[in-house]
Amino acid sequence: MSATLLDGTALSRTVRNEVKDRVSALVAAGHRAPKLVAVLAGDDPASETYVGMKQRACAWVGIESETLRMSGATSQEEAEAVIRRLNADASVDGVLVQHPLPKHIDEAAVLRLLDPAKDVDGVTPASMGALLAGDDRAFAACTPLGIMELLSRYDIPVEGKRAVVIGRSVILGKPLALLLLARNATVTICHSRTRDLADRTREADLLFAAIGKPEMIKASMIKPGAVVVDAGYNRVEGRKADVGDVDFEPTSEVAAYITPVPGGVGPMTIAMLLRNTTEAAERRAATAP
């Protein structure tokens, strides 16, 4: 392997330590600890796992966390009432609506109600719109934010570079493209209807895979010396470990930098959730009477 690993596990530890210090400083200044509430509806086991991981991470840095569980039969009105209540609750700094909500719930309508100041997951239309408008007071979605943090901490230049993002989901591909644009990259977004994908990917100085297709990006699709960031996380029948969207071993012979899966983008996502929640609490403290 010749590429340098972008080690998200190690970097997320550094970020968590920084967040822990910020939480301690807030408390030492006489403010309460930040508080994150996760809203969970139904009994999706993956959602339970994700929320559990986020709660453990919160506890580690001193963020208070709570899970608000609603039954799978919760009505639209009840779900919306929960968000209104959390908006009005001065003891809550951040709210995370765990995707997916049950199918009969209009998730977009629920998210539209959430106060952007508490949208630490960066998923509401208001937060997305602010990102588009270049308003950096809004919280950006945690996975793209974590990817940008990886690039910064490894001193990877972005300005003027040719960045290619494969994937255009609302939580990942699109906000990532906007964050790259804000750092003055020249950005191409590819998706399932893109023609000649390999021609586009071979142009990339910075290549981001956010597809959800195991090992779809092959070494032959990479420009030698490129930075390859793999956000994919895929379970494959008959294989013990989960794999990314990039065919890791051969690609790491061509790329200059590459993220492993697991241990690349994933841990950074949770670290950004902790940082956004702390930021929300610091802003609240700064305006407290």
Q: Catalytic site residues?
A: 54, 98, 121
| Nearer CB in complex with ligand NAP: 47/169 | 169
- Is 210 one of the binding residues for ligand NAP (CB under 6 A)? yes
> Binding-site residue total for ligand NAP (CB under 6 A)?
25
Residues 118-147 that bind ligand NAP (CB under 6 A): 143
Single out the residue of 122, 175, 232, 260 in contact with ligand NAP (rule: CB under 6 A).
Answer: 232
CB-nearer residue toward ligand NAP: 167 or 260? 167
Nearer CB in complex with ligand NAP: 168/202: 168
Count CB-CB contacts under 10 A for residue 195.
7
Say whether residue 266 binds ligand NAP (CB under 6 A).
yes
Cβ pair 42, 72 in contact under 8 A? yes
- 55 to 84, contacts with ligand NAP by CB under 6 A? none
- Provide the edge-to-edge strand list for the sheet that holds 35-41: 64-70, 35-41, 94-97
The residue sitting closest to ligand NAP, measured at its beta carbon, is 169
Q: What are phi and psi of 39, to 5 degrees?
A: -105, 125
Residue 194 in contact with ligand NAP, rule: CB under 6 A: yes
Measured CA to CA, the distance from residue 39 to residue 37 in angstroms comes to 6
Q: Does 187 bind ligand NAP (CB under 6 A)?
A: no
Residue with Cβ nearer ligand NAP (143 or 277): 143
Q: How far is the CB of 6 from ligand NAP (least distance, A)?
A: 13
Residue 269 found at the interface with ligand NAP (CB under 6 A): yes
User: CB neighbours of 35 closer than 8 A, spacing ≥ 6?
Assistant: 63, 64, 65, 66, 91, 92, 93, 94, 281
- Shortest distance in whole angstroms from residue 245 CB to ligand NAP: 6
Give the tokens for residue 157: 């230049």
Q: What is the dihedral of CA 169, 171, 176, 177, to 10 degrees?
A: 40
Instruction: Please tell me the distance from the alpha carbon of residue 196 to that of residue 190, in angstroms, as a whole number.
Output: 10
Q: Binders of ligand NAP among 156-175, rule CB under 6 A?
A: 166-169, 171-173
Distance CA 243, CA 214 (A): 6
Nearest to 208 by CA among 150, 149, 167: 167
- Could you list the residues that contact ligand NAP (CB under 6 A)? 143, 166-169, 171-173, 190-194, 197, 210-213, 231-234, 265-266, 269
